């Protein structure tokens, strides 16, 4: 093959120069180890997407937005715990529990703007930038399918979003439990509320995440993607309100079922067993239609994203 | 080297690719490529990139078929891509990541486990000549460094075949020489088959041992480089005076030499003229200004006519046709002086006198 170095010369002086140079240059070595294939590629890309969503491995500036938004998302939990600590010291915990506006069922409503901003800021980091810088060509020239790329990017972003949503609630849970006089009873009180929180977190992740990814998939320009995501999160709600104010109930219901904000109001009411907000008084379909709508919107957004990358030219 | 034994490295049959109804990028291309360093030459828009993308399974052909390692490109794309590396023509690196991070990430996407990915990354970046700077963000790299990173990511998973699309794009002369040297090493020392697409024949012929020329999506010629060598280049010897005497002596020695201004142009058939020119100039005691290998244009080389009349006005320094020199030419070409060392590395530029 290539190692036509010929017979080694008889022991003359082997110095650092000349033939002895090979001491410093090992030459090219073939890779004989395992090649783990498609599943591993998808896993690696998923992990990379999760890290990229938090700016890990992309320099300091890339971390500013996710870290600030992550801190803001956690802030209400920390404040609630702080106040709770104070109240417990003063023996006024009971009254405070009744008065505090932020609990498990209302937590995500209180940070919904931050969740939306996180999506608008970080989803384009994953999908728009790869298009902008031509990196797609490098991915698609490797042992994975185009749809694998889309699925891995979406999964990684979903994991990042779930962390953003579950971390504050976890802090809230452990804080509340540890502050209680009777820890076992406190766990017994709080634990049953957590499945609903988890369900709502998954719905938010699926809905916001998939819509944000779908928008990012269609533009290489980060700013356009960010603007588009915010518009999609906000505008349907605004339009719905305007339509309802005009008194059109049927159209209003359709719009409410398409607007990410009101869909989440609906699923929250479903999971936590609370009523719909007063603004949705006219909604006379079963409440699970909100969940159905969330699933449908997510499916459409994911399929659009995959389709986009299957067809994109590199 | 177990994979390359039976089927051709690359084989296409009546391969056609149309974009819409107006643009035909490949037009019934049938070609077979064996392992080695293969130059894929053609002018811009000849279909080189399209061919590479089809072979990678990135584009589907409109009609016809293609196989790499005997695997069909449409159905076995994933299997093929496991074993090939691709260096795209255009910029393809995220500016905010370091070379190490990008290459090791892409190594994992190619299926290398974490530790192996890191080791191979360090090794490959060293081979392409990136050292301390590999930890800095790519956004601050020069074009030359970016090209090296692009090459490194194509090599990191130790492919059996490497597709390089215009690898010297945007490089200065020194950078071009280094890149070509690197490609040559990859094809010889590393033992990896290479297919290099370029519109610069003069560069590609320095590293390749086989050429495939396409034009307008059609195959122009596919042959070992050796069969092209009768017309691969011109050696321009610039002297301050005595051009006539030099030309006479060289013609007498069996070379075809003509005077062109202050230079004597010599048909470069093999390495022999270098020695002859050096000795002749030394004997005549002429003041040598520079010794330079000039490149023919692509069209000259692939023109199927009996010779290359200077039909195009683009290269005024074209040599007289080989046919005229036939009386002297074959004699010179027939017996390459054994063991003759060229006075200057072919094409590596100038010897200042």
pLDDT tens for residues A257-307?
A: 999 999 999 999 999 998 888 888 888 889 999 999 999 999 999 999 999
Q: How far is B193 from chain A (nearest CA, A)?
A: 12
pLDDT tens for residues B62-81?
A: 999 999 999 999 999 999 99
Euclidean distance between CA atoms B319 and B300, whole angstroms: 11
- Give me the pLDDT at residue B296, please: 55
Per the DSSP assignment, residues forming a β-bridge with B221 are B213
pLDDT tens for residues B83-141?
A: 999 999 999 999 999 999 999 999 999 999 999 999 999 999 999 999 999 999 999 99
Euclidean distance between CA atoms B54 and A130, whole angstroms: 21
Average predicted confidence (pLDDT) for chain B: 81
Q: How far is B127 from chain A (nearest CA, A)?
A: 8
pLDDT tens for residues B261-317?
A: 888 888 776 777 788 888 888 888 888 888 877 755 555 555 443 343 333 333 333
- Give me the pLDDT at residue A101, please: 77
Q: Mutate which of B76, B110, B120 to test chain A, going by most A C-beta atoms within 10 A?
A: B110
Comparing B136 with A15, which gets the higher pLDDT? B136
Whether A44 and B109 lie within 8 Å, measured CB to CB: yes
Comparing B203 with B339, which gets the higher pLDDT? B203
A58 has a chain B CB within 8 A of its CB: yes
What residues of chain A lie within 8 A of the CB of B106, using their CB? 138-139, 142
* φ and ψ at residue A170, rounded to 5 degrees: -65, -45
pLDDT tens for residues A27-56?
A: 888 999 999 989 999 999 999 999 999 999
A5 has a chain B CB within 8 A of its CB: no
| pLDDT tops 60 at residue A3 | no
- Give me the pLDDT at residue B14, please: 95
What residues of chain B lie within 8 A of the CB of A143, using their CB? 78-79, 81-82, 109-111
Determine the average pLDDT of the residues in B239-243. 87
Whether B88 and A58 lie within 8 Å, measured CB to CB: no
Euclidean distance between CA atoms A212 and A205, whole angstroms: 10
- Give me the pLDDT at residue B352, please: 36
Euclidean distance between CA atoms B58 and B65, whole angstroms: 14
The residue in chain B having the minimum alpha-carbon distance to the alpha carbon of residue A63 is B96
Predicted complex ipTM: 0.85
- Give me the pLDDT at residue B312, please: 36
> Token pair for residue A221?
């320009």
Alpha helices per DSSP H over A180-221: 183-190, 194-217
Relative to beta strand B84-87, strand B161-165 is parallel
């Amino acid at each position: 093959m290539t190692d036509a170095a010929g017979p080694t010369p008889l022991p003359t002086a082997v110095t650092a120069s000349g033939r002895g140079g090979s001491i410093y240059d090992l030459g090219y070595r073939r890779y004989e180890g395992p090649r783990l294939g498609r599943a591993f590629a998808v896993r690696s890309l998923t992990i990379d997407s999760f890290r990229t969503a938090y700016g890990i491995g992309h320099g300091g500036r890339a971390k500013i937005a996710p870290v600030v938004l992550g801190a803001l998302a956690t802030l209400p939990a920390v404040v609630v715990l702080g106040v709770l600590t104070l109240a417990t010291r003063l023996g006024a915990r009971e009254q405070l529990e009744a008065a505090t506006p932020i609990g498990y069922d209302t937590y995500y409503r209180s940070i919904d703007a931050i969740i939306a901003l996180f999506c608008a800021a970080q989803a384009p980091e994953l999908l728009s930038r790869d298009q902008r810088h031509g990196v797609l060509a490098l991915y698609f020239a490797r042992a994975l399918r185009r749809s694998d790329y889309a699925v891995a990017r979406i999964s990684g972003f979903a994991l990042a979003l779930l962390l953003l949503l579950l971390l504050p609630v976890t802090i809230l849970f452990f804080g509340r439990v540890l502050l209680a006089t009777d820890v076992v009873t406190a766990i017994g009180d709080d634990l049953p509320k957590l499945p609903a929180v988890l369900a709502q977190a998954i719905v938010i992740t699926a809905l916001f995440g998939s819509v944000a990814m779908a928008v990012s998939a269609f533009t290489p320009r980060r700013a356009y993607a960010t603007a588009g995501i915010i518009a999609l999160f906000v505008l349907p709600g605004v339009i719905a309100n305007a339509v309802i104010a005009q008194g059109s109930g049927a159209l209003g219901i359709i719009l409410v079922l398409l607007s990410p904000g009101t869909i989440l109001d609906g699923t929250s009411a479903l999971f936590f067993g609370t009523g719909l907000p007063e603004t949705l008084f006219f909604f006379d379909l079963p409440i699970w239609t909100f969940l159905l709508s969330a699933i449908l919107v997510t499916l459409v957004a994911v399929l659009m994203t995959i389709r986009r990358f299957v067809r994109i030219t590199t | 080297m177990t994979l390359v034994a039976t089927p051709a490295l690359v084989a296409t049959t009546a391969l056609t690719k149309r974009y819409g109804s107006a643009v035909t990028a490949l037009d019934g291309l049938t070609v077979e490529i064996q392992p080695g360093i293969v130059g894929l030459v053609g002018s811009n828009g000849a279909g080189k990139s399209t061919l590479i993308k089809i072979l990678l399974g990135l584009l589907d052909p409109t009609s016809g078929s293609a196989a790499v390692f005997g695997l069909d490109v449409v159905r076995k794309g994933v299997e093929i891509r496991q074993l090939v590396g691709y260096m795209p023509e255009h910029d393809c690196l995220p500016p905010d990541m370091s070379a190490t991070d990008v290459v090791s990430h892409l190594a994992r996407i190619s299926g290398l486990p974490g530790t192996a990915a890191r080791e191979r990354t360090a090794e490959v970046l060293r081979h392409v000549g990136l050292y301390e700077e590999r930890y800095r963000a790519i956004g601050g790299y020069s074009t030359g460094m970016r090209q090296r990173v692009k090459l490194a990511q194509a090599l990191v998973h130790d492919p059996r075949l490497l597709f390089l699309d215009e690898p010297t794009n945007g490089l200065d002369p020194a950078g071009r020489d280094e890149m070509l040297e690197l490609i040559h090493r990859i094809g010889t020392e590393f033992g990896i088959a290479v297919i290099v697409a370029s519109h610069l024949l003069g560069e590609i012929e320095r590293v390749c041992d086989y050429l495939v020329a396409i034009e307008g999506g059609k195959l122009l010629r596919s042959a070992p480089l050796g069969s092209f060598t009768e017309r691969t280049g011109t050696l321009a010897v610039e002297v301050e005076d005595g051009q006539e005497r030099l030309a006479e002596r060289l013609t007498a020695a069996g070379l075809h030499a003509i005077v062109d201004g202050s230079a004597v142009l010599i048909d470069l058939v093999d390495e022999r003229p270098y020695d002859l020119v050096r000795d002749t100039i030394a004997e005549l005691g002429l003041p040598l200004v520079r010794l330079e290998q000039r490149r023919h244009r692509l069209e000259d080389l692939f023109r199927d006519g009996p010779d290359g009349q200077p039909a195009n006005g683009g290269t005024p320094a074209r040599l007289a046709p080989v046919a005229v020199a036939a009386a002297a030419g074959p004699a010179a070409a027939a017996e390459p002086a054994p063991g003759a060392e060229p006075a200057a590395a072919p094409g590596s530029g100038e010897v200042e006198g």
